Amino acid sequence: MLTCKEVSTLVSESLDHSLPLRQRMGVRFHLMMCSMCRTYKKQTLQLRDAMRTYARREPTEHLSKEARQRIKNALKTDGK
């Protein structure tokens, strides 16, 4: 059986590329037995999804509507 350290490494690797069947089966077997690694995998996937959502958002989405308006106004009056 794979160790928790090996599984955590393989879970991370599986985000970048699919693992060979033997490793996938090893990870799956380990995850059935180990709740710590299941939690690790779940959190890793949640983090990846959060990063994807963050990367896809509009560049100015983190600013409030008011802040965007203030910047627009400042740009309009700039250079006059």
4-16 vs 21-33: helix axis angle to the nearest 10?
130
| Shortest spacing between CB 25 and Zn ion, in angstroms | 15
Q: Which is nearer to Zn ion, 39 or 60 (CB)?
A: 39
30: CB partners within 8 A, 6+ apart: 1, 2, 4, 7, 37
Shortest distance in whole angstroms from residue 50 CB to Zn ion:
23
CA separation for the pair 37, 10 (Å, rounded):
11
Of the pair 19, 34, the CB lying nearest Zn ion is at 34
**Interface with Zn ion (CB under 5 A):** 4, 34, 37
Q: Which is nearer to Zn ion, 1 or 18 (CB)?
A: 1
